[in-house]
Amino acid sequence: MIPKRSLVTGAVVKQRNLLVNRRVCRCLSLGFCSPVRATLKDLRPLPEQREQPASDPLLRLITATHALVLSISILAGVWIAPPVAVANNVRLADVENPELRAGIQAATSGEYTKAELIFTRILTEDPSLASVWSNLGNVHMSQGRAKQAFDDYTRAVQLAPDAPVPYLNRAIALEELGLQLEREGLPAEALVRWREALADCDSAIARDAREFAAWFNKGNVELRLHDYDAALSCFSTAADLAPGIAGYRLRAAQLLFQVGNTEGAVRTVKGVLRKNPNYAEAHSTLAAMLWSQGQLAAAEGQLEAALDLGGRWRDAGWVAANTRWPPRLEEALQRLLDISTTLPIV
């Protein structure tokens, strides 16, 4: 097994809202299996997640306005999460290759064209570097070029077949390719891509069962396939493996609600909010759940709390576009909003 090293970012409380909605990728380092996690271009940050300060000493390579979030591990990338328990933190200063350092800095600052040129130049000199292929794939994902990213990740899989990271990354590209096919009116073809994505998640997990990003991404794909019990299991596992990521636990709570365990879901969301009181999506989630229990006043209070923190939580279309809520939760919020608009102003 290739040893793992990575630089993983810490998470600001308000940035945790992003984690519920984003697909999580990783990347390889030179000669190592190291995490790089990236987001897709079409997934936008919520208002309260902008203008977040940088953190020391680990170089917060996060910009809420940028879709790709890269970190490093000799060549690897970053992600919006607390440090991985099993990984060794590596600073950008530890990257000795100046060209590689320039590519990482360009990617993390949103200069994707520049990063692409640098990584391509490195690969022209040495096409055997799985880590560079994976970083290049992350850049292409951020640019909305899922097919190119898929090809990049496939090269990384071929070069490092025993590492979990390339499979995890390729699953992200496959999920996005499935979404594209669905938008084109090709649902059967989309299902094929999503099942391929599940297979890649399983391959990543088989190589490292504690790879929480693989569990989280698998849950996202199961959600696409409407297998809510399987999605709940995946999100719960991810949350157990990475207890510092509030978004994982919130996603598990949302799936608890979907499968009918409303009391357990409410209890879980309240636990998330005790530790993260500024988590807007958790407040709006709890609002929908409380409405389903007939607690209208309490639901309104939670919805107002979410609005105070930022976001258009009274706009069901905005919520659908900016979150990944299961259908029962979306329906509960819609009914709460329908009732709220008919209430008299006191």
Which domain CATH number covers 328? Answer: 1.25.40.10
Alpha-carbon span 141 to 148, nearest angstrom: 8
Q: Which residue has the tokens 């940028």?
A: 66
The token pair that represents 206 in the structure block: 């088989």
Is 50 exceeded by the pLDDT of residue 72?
no
SS3 state of residue 127:
coil
pLDDT at residue number 99: 87
Tokens 């990521």 belong to residue = 245
Band (98; pLDDT cuts 50, 70, 90): confident
pLDDT value at residue 154: 98
Identify the band that residue 196 occupies on the pLDDT scale cut at 50, 70 and 90: very high
Residue 185: inside a domain: no
Torsion of CA 143, 5, 153, 219, to 10 degrees: -80
**Cα–Cα distance list, 245 to 240, 273, 317 (Å):** 10, 12, 26
pLDDT given at position 131: 87
Provide the whole-model pTM: 0.75
Confidence of residue 304 (pLDDT cuts 50, 70, 90): very high
Whether 290 is in a domain gets the answer: yes
**Residue that the structure tokens 């909003």 belong to:** 337
Indicate whether 271 pLDDT > 50: yes
- The Cα–Cα gap between 21 and 271 comes to 19
Place of tokens 């850049």: 139
Confidence of residue 232 (pLDDT cuts 50, 70, 90): very high
Q: Which helix (H) or strand (E) holds 300?
A: helix 296-309
Are 152 and 136 within 8 A, CB to CB? yes
171, 243, 67, 186: CA torsion to nearest 10: 30
My answer on whether omega of the bond before 57 falls inside 30° of 0, hence cis, is yes
170: confidence class by pLDDT, cuts 50, 70, 90 = very high
Give residue-wise pLDDT tens across range 317-345. Answer: 999 989 999 999 999 999 999 987 655 44
- Residue 264 covered by a domain: yes
Q: Rounded to an integer, what distance in angstroms lies between the CA atom of residue 35 and that of residue 168?
A: 10
Whole-angstrom CA distances from 303 to 181, 183, 311, 319, 321 are 35, 31, 11, 12, 18
Domain annotation covers residue 305: yes
Confidence grade of residue 97 (pLDDT, cut at 50, 70, 90): confident
Q: Is the pLDDT of residue 309 over 70?
A: yes
Q: Give domain status of residue 253, yes or no.
A: yes
- CA 272 to chain CA centroid, Å, is 18
Asked whether residue 294 is assigned to any structural domain, the reply reads: yes
Higher pLDDT, residue 140 or 21: 140
The predicted model gives 110-139 an average pLDDT of 94
Residue 77 confidence class, pLDDT cut points 50, 70, 90:
very low
Question: What domain range is 317 assigned to?
Answer: 245-346
173, burial (CB in 10 Å: exposed 0-12, middle 13-18, buried 19+): buried
* Rounded CA separation 320/80 (Å): 22
For the cut 80, the answer to whether the pLDDT of residue 107 exceeds it is: yes
Query: What's the structural domain count of the chain?
Result: 1
346 vs 41, more confident: 346
Determine, yes or no, domain membership for 84: no
Question: Given this model, what pLDDT does residue 104 score?
Answer: 84
One-letter amino acid at 39 equals T
**Res 95 pLDDT > 80:** no
Within-domain flag for 88:
no
Give the separation between CA 208 and CA 289, rounded to whole angstroms: 35
